[in-house]
Amino acid sequence: MKPIATITRTKAIMERHNLSFKKSLGQNFLIDVNILENIVSKADVDEECIVIEVGPGIGALTEQIAKKAKHVYAFEIDGRLIDVLEDTLSPYDNVTVFQQDILDVDLQNFIEEHVNQGEKVKVVANLPYYITTPILMKLLTSHLPVDSITVMMQKEVAARMSADPNNKDYGSLSIAVQYYTTSKVVMNVPKTCFMPQPNVDSAILQLNVRSQPKVHVEHEELYFELVQASFGQRRKTLKNNLKRAYSDEIDSETLEGIFKEASIDPTRRGESLSLEEFAELANVFNQYITRS
């Protein structure tokens, strides 16, 4: 039988199950087997891996993962697709599908219950564009015992997540992702590889989870809060952005002293600071701001 990720098979599955694409769920199904095989290869999936997949759709990527992995746990929010997946993935006894929104899943508990000690866990997914960032941030901030996250997403979002300082794409999202992982765009995917075609091209981003965050911060929540505030208005200086964000907690004189103590020029813009510089600034801030 042809792979799921072909135009003819995808159309046949859609017709057999009387399916239509749900724009509200960002459903664009891949119809290029080579791309899917590449994703699985880049993710370095093998028979020792447990893979968590988000949004399997009709099972095109799931099928390719199942050929290599020990087991695939796929989470699908669209109830219409559960019967479809039972049909399309019936040849694979190493796939378990859950009808659940991944944002509602306690993944820490899930992994404890379904993964044996010593087994490698990887996340591999073609993420719905409308909810890419919340899903990724949940995966990262939950401090899961995951080796890597290999995901397809909108090309522009992948560029932001992997951007370096002094780059127009660099921002609070870049810092959040790189704090927890090493990030790299490993492949671009043209919109012609999907049905229906989205309006944008895609990219595959590989995130290798760090054993420890890239920088040491005294207060993680404050660190990310300060980073966010520093990019509040990109064209404004750090001093102006932070003065505006913390006007109720810190006066101008104290703020000047914080910059001096952290050895950060207050006239710089957020996009020029490395993760290390933000960490230094946040750790000094932590001495002057009360956070529970």
Determine if residue 146 is left, alpha or beta; phi over 0 gives left, psi from -120 to 50 gives alpha, anything else beta. beta
For the chain, how many residues are written?
292
What pLDDT does residue 158 have?
96
Do residues 161 and 172 lie in contact, with contact meaning Cβ atoms separated by under 8 Å? no
- The pLDDT-based confidence of 256 (bands split at 50, 70, 90) is very high
Distance CA 144, CA 88 (A): 30
Any binding-site annotation on 55? yes
- The pLDDT-based confidence of 236 (bands split at 50, 70, 90) is very high
- The pLDDT-based confidence of 24 (bands split at 50, 70, 90) is low
Any binding-site annotation on 126? yes
**What is the fold of 7-209?**
Rossmann fold (3.40.50)
Residues of the chain with CATH 1.10.8.100: 220-288
Q: What is the mean pLDDT of the chain?
A: 94
Q: Which CATH number fits domain 220-288: 1.10.8.100, 3.20.20.140, 1.10.4160.10, 1.20.1250.20?
A: 1.10.8.100
Distance CA 267, CA 176 (A): 23
Q: What is the mean pLDDT of residues 199-223?
A: 95
Any binding-site annotation on 28? yes
Residues of the chain with CATH 3.40.50.150: 7-209
Per-residue model confidence as pLDDT tens digits over 38-48: 999 999 999 99
Per-residue model confidence as pLDDT tens digits over 61-91: 999 999 999 999 999 999 999 999 999 999 9
CA-CA-CA-CA torsion for 87, 75, 9, 11, nearest 10 degrees? 100
